[in-house]
Homo-oligomer: A and B are copies of this chain.
Amino acid sequence: MNIILLERPEVQIDTVTLTDRRATHLVKVLGVRPGDTVRIGILDGPQGMGTVTEISKRSPFQVRLTVQFAAERDACPEDQPFIDLLLALPRPIMLRRIFSQAAALGVGNIFITHAQRVEKSFWNASLLNEEEYRPHLLQGLEQAIDTRVPKVHIHGRFKPFIEDILPDKIANYSHLLIAHPDSSSPLRDVIVDVPGNILVAIGPEGGWIDYELDRFAECGFTAFSLGKRILKVDTAVVTIHARLSERRDLLRLDPGNQ
Contact = CB atoms under 8 A, between A and B. Distances in A.
Interface residues of A, number: 35
A106 B104 CA distance: 24
Given A186-B249, A249-B186, A238 B229 contact: no
> Which secondary structure dominates where chain A touches chain B?
helix
A247 interface: yes
A228 B145 contact: yes
A1 to B, nearest CB: 11
A37 interface: no
A171 interface: no
A250 interface: yes
- Lowest 5 A-B CB distances belong to which pairs? A242-B242, A144-B229, A243-B246, A239-B242, A246-B246
Interface of A: 2, 79, 101, 104-106, 143-146, 186-188, 226, 228-232, 235, 238-243, 245-247, 249-250, 253-254, 257-258
